[in-house]
Structure 1
Amino acid sequence: MIDINEIIKPFRFLEYEDRGSLILNVGEYLNSIFELRADEGFEGNGYDWGSLALVFLNEEVPHLKEDIGFDPEGSMFCVYSKNLKALKEFAVKFHEACEDEELIKNLFLKAELD
């Protein structure tokens, strides 16, 4: 069985008794994307990642909107869910989007500063 954390690096999937979380310590991944809009105030912090992930959720996987919650912090991006299957789907697809430079740039252009 393949470990989801191997698939979604540098994101990490954490599973608890009744929920799961997808986290990323900011500053170690895709910094160049956030630099594209630094003059608007984007820094690449957890809130900026949350804004990007929200656009992704709404545009690419809207069927998961009811299951995914956001809890970013300055130094960490975090989404969570009680539905582990939905969270895993979000994790894999968001990582795939992040690895697609054209797609992630287009999504980021729609992100709003939090």
Structure 2
Amino acid sequence: MDINDFKGTIKPFFWIEHNNSFSVCLNAGDYKPEIFETRAEEGFEGNGYDWASLAQVFLDEKKPDLNEDIKFDPEAGMFCTYSSNAESLKEFISEFKKICEDDTKIQDLFSRAELD
């Protein structure tokens, strides 16, 4: 897949290339806030840390073979994941984005996310 086509399929996540690594980020709060509202009373806000918790559940349960390659570096306003392996990161974010678009599946994963 052409890199520009790939970038389009993962929106609103965005791809960044560095010298020796690759990142995918998301402006937290702009995408799927309704997911986090279901557990707001527990302290979830939809910030970058909450997204990282959700993404970690996805990684552990759906893509455990990528656990060595995928790392998270969230901030309050931004979710960020990175890797030195571009193909692993592309696979992760492509599959994670598909799950995010399926309300039933994403809510199921989110039910096991832990507040950071």
Does 1:111 pair with 2:108?
no
Does 1:35 pair with 2:24?
no
- Tell me how many residue pairs correspond in the alignment: 114
Divergent runs of 4+, >2 A = none
Unaligned runs of 5+ in 2: none
Report the 3-state secondary structure (helix = DSSP H, G, I; strand = E; otherwise coil) of the residue aligned with 1:80: strand
Partner in structure 2 of residue 77 of structure 1 = 79
Q: In structure 2, do the counterparts of structure 1 residues 17 and 2 end up closer, same or farther at CA, with 3 Å as the change threshold? A: closer
Provide the identity percentage: 55
Residue identity in the other structure for 2:95: K
Residue identity in the other structure for 1:79: T
Report the 3-state secondary structure (helix = DSSP H, G, I; strand = E; otherwise coil) of the residue aligned with 1:48: helix
Q: 1:72, 1:26 → 2: CA distance?
A: 9
Does 1:6 pair with 2:8?
yes
Q: Which residue of 42, 53, 56 maps to 1:54?
A: 56
Shift in Å at residue 13 of structure 1? 1.0
Report the 3-state secondary structure (helix = DSSP H, G, I; strand = E; otherwise coil) of the residue aligned with 2:108: helix
Residue identity in the other structure for 2:74: P
Q: 1:98, 1:108 → 2: CA distance?
A: 10
RMSD: 0.8
TM-score (norm 2): 0.96
Shift in Å at residue 15 of structure 1? 1.1
Q: 2:9, 2:96 → 1: CA distance?
A: 11
Partner in structure 1 of residue 28 of structure 2 = 26
Report the 3-state secondary structure (helix = DSSP H, G, I; strand = E; otherwise coil) of the residue aligned with 1:97: helix
Shift in Å at residue 22 of structure 1? 0.7
Shift in Å at residue 69 of structure 1? 0.6
Shift in Å at residue 103 of structure 1? 0.5
Shift in Å at residue 5 of structure 1? 1.2
Report the 3-state secondary structure (helix = DSSP H, G, I; strand = E; otherwise coil) of the residue aligned with 2:44: coil
Report the 3-state secondary structure (helix = DSSP H, G, I; strand = E; otherwise coil) of the residue aligned with 1:92: helix
